[in-house]
């Protein structure tokens, strides 16, 4: 069984940008059930112009972990699923990867109805694993369900203050 252990933080400033690789993500959800989500995603790499499609099934989050299964799918299928079957709004974002020691931070800069939200994530081997927090990492929001991508489909960031 695949397992994802991830911690999520708000970003305080843009000190991470100079060392970051960037890709454009477009993703949508086929299922937003409380016990599981089924996501379709395209990833466009800016460095080489390649685009890939993925289907991901995630179990219910418990603490910082959950079951996760991800499979590459044909890019045409991914576009068709996003355009015809996924819930709206789609999640659109730039993802930046910032290596730090043996780990890599992923910073998501959201676009569209979630513009203005910037979140940093780090995947760990163990929920208690120690890691260095760069000075641009702010408040931890791992346990706040509003910051999950699946939740941002149902309650976009732009509507939080209205």
Active-site amino acid positions = 29
State the distance between the two ends of the chain, measured CA to CA, in whole angstroms: 41
CB 109 within 8 A of CB 136: no
Number of H helices, E strands in the chain: 2, 9
- If one counts every other C-beta atom within 10 angstroms of the C-beta of residue 130, the result is 6
Q: In angstroms, how far is CA 107 from the centroid of its own chain?
A: 8
The tally of CA atoms less than 13 A away on the side-chain side of residue 38 is: 9
């Amino acid at each position: 069984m695949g397992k994802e252990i991830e911690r999520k933080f708000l970003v305080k400033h843009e000190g991470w940008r100079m060392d970051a690789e960037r890709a454009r993500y477009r993703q949508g959800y086929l299922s937003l059930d409380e016990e599981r989500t089924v996501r379709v995603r395209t990833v466009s790499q800016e460095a080489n112009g390649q685009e890939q499609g993925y289907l991901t099934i995630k179990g219910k989050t418990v603490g910082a972990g959950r079951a996760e299964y991800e499979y590459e799918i044909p890019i045409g299928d991914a576009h068709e699923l996003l355009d015809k079957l996924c819930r709206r709004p789609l999640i659109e974002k730039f993802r930046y990867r910032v290596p730090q020691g043996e780990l890599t931070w992923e910073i998501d800069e959201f676009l569209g109805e979630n513009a203005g939200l910037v979140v940093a994530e780090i995947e760990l081997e163990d929920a208690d694993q120690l890691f260095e927090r760069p000075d641009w990492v702010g408040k931890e929001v791992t346990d706040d369900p509003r910051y999950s991508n699946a939740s941002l489909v149902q309650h976009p960031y732009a509507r939080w203050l209205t």
